Amino acid sequence: MEISNVKVLQLLLFILLNLYVLRLVFQVANGAGTNDGKTIQVIFNFVFLESVEKLLPWMQENFPELSLDKTKFNEMSWIESVLYISGIPRNESETLLQRTQQSKGFFKAKSDYVTEPISEAGLEGLWERLLQLEIFQLILTPFGGIMSEVSDSEIPFPHRKGTLFEIQYLVSWGDDKETEKHIGSMKMLYEYMTPYVSKSPRAAYLNYRDLDLGTNKNGNTSYAQASIWGLRYFKNNFRRLVHVKTLVDPENFFRNEQSIPDGTNGGKVITVLFDCLFLETVEKLLPWMQENFPELSLDQTKFTEMSWIDSVLYFSGIPRNESELLLQRRTEDSNRFFKAKSDYVTDPISEAGLEHLWKILLEEERSVLILTPFGGKMSEISDSETPFPHRKGTLFEIQYMIFWNDDKETEKHIGWMRRLYEYMTPHVSKSPRAAYLNYRDLDLGRNIDDGSTGYEEASIWGLKYFKGNFMRLVNVKTVVDPDNFFWDEQTTERFLQCFASHYEGLSYVLEAPFIIIDLLNLWSIDVDIENESGWVESGAALSECTTQFHRRVKFMDFQQGHVQLSGEELFWAIRGGGGSSFGVILAWKLRLVPVPPSVTGFKISQTIEQGAMKLFSKWQNIADTLHEDIFLHSVIGVGNKVAQMTAATALSWVEYVLYFASISTNESEALLRRTQQSKSFKAKSDYVSGPIWNLAWKAYEYMAPYVLKSPRGAYLNYRVLDLGRTMLVIQSMDKQAFGV
């Protein structure tokens, strides 16, 4: 059936307001009269979060090519739908709790995102290459709908508006000797798809960790090298993740083959992080920033409003839901050393001065400069109002910091800090060169141990800290402590913020000893029915979560992929997967949301000969604009299965999970199995952003003036169904359309 452009536009406009999920699976199957007995089979896999009665009329009107009726649907519970979409039988919900890998084979996977429709000529070339492969699948997952309404920068996952669908390429095999052959075939197919998928960069799906894109070099990979895969996974969000990584894991302790780098490399780079706090609302701040600092490219999505106590946690780098940490008596990290110095700047530093400063900073791996602006209310208060005198006339304060772990390196690092401090002399305050009291910089001088230090000696550092207020403090000291009972050398109890964090345990190869944290056995799941939430330890699989929630609360599950923000930069990163490069989460608190008592599922499998091409062309035109309660994907693959169609069935949620995973809906225990079924596989992926146009039909129309007429002849072997086809009841005149 041909669909006019007006019809397509009307369809898209309607679907934009209603999200379906319609996924396609392409695979190779047996087919009579085809190339070596093989054909391409397209499976339309579909989920709708309502009843058959609501779904069927919409599908019959907007996607009649699927020839759906009530017999083709399955209604199921929420937990059953989890089993269904995972291909697990609906009565085997225990399978979701199994932790043993079932597969003993090998596999390879890759991925892509598509932003423009793939032409039919492009698809024909794809079919030809798929037919050369054996056990191969393409899974196409539509985007759009709610996905497009979320900003690309809301969480690290950026593949949203403008993406039509994602492609996952998967190939599996059982014999290790065939590895090179199958991976070679995968790379050939991936190369062929280059002109049809996203560009600059060619995006990729993070879950596959496609090592073809590049790998870390034992932790010494540069930002430029890591951006080869980092920009593919996270696009522009990769830079933000690097900033977070640099802050919380400057030693790059937590790394794997494709972890985010710490922003330093063999040709190290300087990273500048702007951290802002405003004592009003976003509505007041944003216009001002856009007018006065447009270079930051700020928009509403980059701000977080919070309470006052949350702002204290936020600015201290503590998660906003952990205010109790402010009451803890934190102890010094005895295994870590640091040196800090400070300066005040009264005139802007020249670009030449900054350029040389960067060069000095690049000599040290763990150096940090914190620049805090003054002015505003600070300038309105008199220098003598309190002992702190650094007010009017001060542009900003500089805190120089360096950290190290080995006591034997102390001399080296302190020497570097002193060279940096000496270099900054012409660029900072003078007469005196002021200093920040909190650091008690002993390089400035110290009291004599017997307490006999005179005023002149003490004024060397006293005037730097307090300027003209130092004399007043001496007078107070003379009155209240004439015996100098309260004495120290210039130090006070120190609080040292430890930035160490943990990696979740993905393995990697390293010559030096390292630690692996095994989260496999941390898989307990607790449900708080009253508060509609659950605590899930990090080793638990998604299937186990769904199963356990279903057992305790029949009609609730957690909202996957949507976690409440807790801490601007660090925890923004963790929400989308960036935490896998610099932290370990031992347990998650998940908010439970209602799920329908029953859902509907169906599967339609067709070969190219049966019209899969037209179905796919239609699917990709509506894939990103479906009803918000429908999931409809497609899987393309090479195999020995004959094209099949399953009836629509009302399923419970867990039956739907089994059904969608191609598991018998009476085998819900399959969701709890943790044994891998297949040992070897290879997968790749793509995202499609534009429908694939019907070029073959256009070419057929173009040739009309140059070929036989009255009638236009056709070659019988092709059985061109565009010319017509036999129906259950057909008139003799109708037969003439293709019979002649």
| pLDDT for the residue numbered 144 | 79
Residue pointed to by tokens 């120190």: 494
Measured over the CA atoms of residue 242, residue 245, residue 250 and residue 254, the dihedral's sign is: negative
* Long-range pairs for 524-532: beta carbons < 8 A, 24 or more residues apart: 525/549, 527/552, 527/553, 527/592, 529/553, 532/556, 532/591, 532/592, 532/593
| pLDDT for the residue numbered 589 | 82
Task: Return the CATH number of the domain spanning residue range 337-480.
Answer: 3.40.462.20
- Structure letter (DSSP) for residue 627: B
Q: Please give the distance of CA 24 from its chain centroid, rounded to a whole number.
A: 23
Total residues belonging to the chain: 740
**Same fold flag, 5-205+598-688 and 337-480:** yes
Which residues of the chain are under the pLDDT cut of 50?
1-20, 33, 265-267, 333, 490-514, 561-582, 637-647, 695, 727-739
Copy the structure tokens of residue 452. Answer: 């006999």
User: In 3D, which of 75, 189, 207, 79 has the Cα closest to residue 133?
Assistant: 189
CB 692 within 8 A of CB 620: yes
**What residue type is assigned to position 451 of the chain?**
G
- Give the phi and the psi of residue 528 in degrees, each rounded to 5: -105, 95
CB 24 within 8 A of CB 42: yes
Assess whether the previous peptide bond of 432 is cis (omega < 30° from 0).
yes
- Structure letter (DSSP) for residue 92: B
| pLDDT for the residue numbered 280 | 81
Copy the structure tokens of residue 71. Answer: 């017999």
**Burial per residue of 653-674, b for 16 or more beta-carbon CB atoms within 10 angstroms, e otherwise:** bbbbbbbbbbbbbebbbbbbbb
CB 271 within 8 A of CB 250: no
CA–CA distances in Å: residue 96 to residues 145, 506, 526, 667, 672: 28, 22, 16, 10, 3
* Long-range pairs for 496-502: beta carbons < 8 A, 24 or more residues apart: 496/332, 496/333, 496/336, 496/338, 497/316, 497/317, 498/333, 498/336, 499/247, 499/248, 499/249, 499/250, 499/317, 500/249, 500/253, 501/248, 501/249, 501/254, 501/582, 501/583, 501/584, 502/254, 502/583, 502/584
Residue range 223-233, pLDDT digits in tens: 767 888 888 99
Assess whether the previous peptide bond of 201 is cis (omega < 30° from 0).
yes
- Give the phi and the psi of residue 634 in degrees, each rounded to 5: -130, 145
Copy the structure tokens of residue 171. Answer: 């190939």
Q: Please report, for the chain, the start and end positions of each structural domain, with discontinuous segments joined by +.
A: 5-205+598-688, 282-327, 337-480, 525-594, 706-739
CB 206 within 8 A of CB 577: yes
Q: What is the 3-state secondary structure (H, E, C) of 9-53?
A: HHHHHHHHCCECEEEEEEEEEECCCCHHHEEEEEEEEEEECCCHH
CB 428 within 8 A of CB 357: no
**What residue type is assigned to position 210 of the chain?**
D
Copy the structure tokens of residue 456. Answer: 């002149």
DSSP 585-603: -SEEEEEEEE--S-EEEEE
End-to-end CA distance of the chain, in Å? 21
CB 8 within 8 A of CB 621: yes
Measured over the CA atoms of residue 294, residue 296, residue 302 and residue 307, the dihedral's sign is: negative
> 5-205+598-688, which class in CATH?
alpha beta
| Cβ neighbours, 10 Å, residue 576 | 20
Considering the entire predicted model, what is its pTM?
Answer: 0.48
The runs of H, that is alpha helices, within 49-178 are: 52-62, 78-85, 120-130, 146-149
| Cβ neighbours, 10 Å, residue 379 | 11
Residue pointed to by tokens 């949203």: 160
CB 407 within 8 A of CB 397: no
**β-bridge partners, 26:** 42, 138
What is the rounded distance in angstroms from the CA atom of residue 538 to the CA atom of residue 578? 15
DSSP 518-584: --TT---EEEETTTTEEEEETT--HHHHHHHHHHHSTTEEE-TT-----SSHHHHHHHTTGGGGT--
Q: Please give the distance of CA 167 from its chain centroid, rounded to a whole number.
A: 17
CA–CA distances in Å: residue 440 to residues 229, 339, 583, 712: 44, 11, 32, 95
